[in-house]
Amino acid sequence: MNHQLLKGKRGIIFGALDERSLAWKTAERAFEEGAQFVLTNAPVALRLGTINQLADKCKAKVIPADATLIEDIEKLYDESIQFLGGKIDFLLHSIGMSPNVRKGKTYNDLDYNFFLKTLDISGLSLHKILQVAEKKDVFNEGASVVALTYVAAQRVFPHYSDMSQAKALLESIARSYGYQLGVKKKVRINTVSQSPTVTTAGSGVTGFDTFYSYADKMSPLGNASALDCADYLITLFSDLTRKVTMQNLFNDGGFSSMGISQQILEIVKQKN
C-alpha cells in the first residue's frame, strides 16, 4: 500500500527501539508514503537498540534526545530543522516507561520517586515536547502531533499500575495543548489508544500474554497489530484529517465499546 499521503512532509518520530516498536513500523510506513523524517530516542536506548538499521532504510537521521530534558529537545529541533530543510509537519510521541512496572512493584506498594519518573517520561514529556516546539516555532501551519496511549487511562487493568495515571495525564495534555496550538497555528494534537501489541514496553507488563489474548477475543475485529497502528497514524499525519484534533482515538478492533463477547462468554461458562 503506497498512496504518497505524506509526500513532501517533514517529521520527527520518537520511540523506535527495535523492529517490534510501534514507532519503527510507523517510520517504515511514513517512508513508504513519501515522508522525510528524523528518528529520536533516549541516548541509552540508542546504544541498546538497532535504530541505525531503520535510519539507513528510511534515509533518516538519528538524533539522540531524552524526552524529559528541555535542552535535549531544543537541540533535537534545531538539528532536525537543519537536516530536513524546513519546519515540522508531523510528530509521533511513542514513549512509555514505568520504573515501578519494570521493577515489579504492585499498585499498592509503589515507589513514589519511580512514580514521578513514570509521569515525567510517559506523560509530561508530551508537554515538554510541545512547549519547546511552541517557543521555538518549529511547526508548520496544520501540523499533526500524535501520542500513543492505552485504554487503561479510562478502565482498570491492575498490572498496568502507575502507567494508567501517566496515560490519563498524556491524554489530558493532548487536549489542553491541542487548544493552544490549534488556535495559534491550526496544529492538530490527538492520542491513539492502541490494542495490546507485542513490543518491549507492552510485554513488560505482568500477565501481558493473558490480556493480549483476552483483548483479542473481546474485540470484534481482533487486536490491532503494529502495522494497523502505523497505517492509522499515517492517515492522522496526512491532510485527509485536517479537522481532527483533541481526540482520544481508539485503534483497538472495537475493544473499548465491548461489554462481553460470545468467545469470552463460552470460556467463562466452561470454567464455571
Ligand X SMILES: NC(=O)c1ccc[n+]([C@@H]2O[C@H](COP(=O)([O-])OP(=O)(O)OC[C@H]3O[C@@H](n4cnc5c(N)ncnc54)[C@H](O)[C@@H]3O)[C@@H](O)[C@H]2O)c1
- Positions in the binding site for ligand X (CB under 6 A): 14-15, 17, 21-23, 41-42, 45, 66-68, 94-97, 121, 148-150, 194, 196-197, 199-202
Q: Which is nearer to ligand X, 200 or 235 (CB)?
A: 200
User: Which residue number, 175 or 185, has a Cβ lying nearer to ligand X?
Assistant: 175
Shortest Cβ distance from residue 30 to ligand X (Å)?
Answer: 15
User: Which residues contact residue 89 at a Cβ distance below 8 angstroms, ignoring those fewer than 6 apart?
Assistant: 6, 9, 10, 11, 139, 140, 142, 143, 144, 237
Nearest distance in Å: CB 232, ligand X: 12
Q: Which is nearer to ligand X, 5 or 46 (CB)?
A: 46
Shortest Cβ 21–ligand X spacing (Å): 3
User: Between residues 34 and 62, which has the closer beta carbon with respect to ligand X?
Assistant: 62
- Of 123 and 178, which has the nearer Cβ to ligand X? 123
CB of 8 to ligand X, least distance (A): 26
Question: Residue number with the shortest CB distance to ligand X?
Answer: 202
> Minimum CB separation from ligand X for residue 260, in Å?
21
Nearer to ligand X, 21 or 248 (CB): 21
As measured in angstroms, the least distance from the Cβ of 244 to ligand X is 19
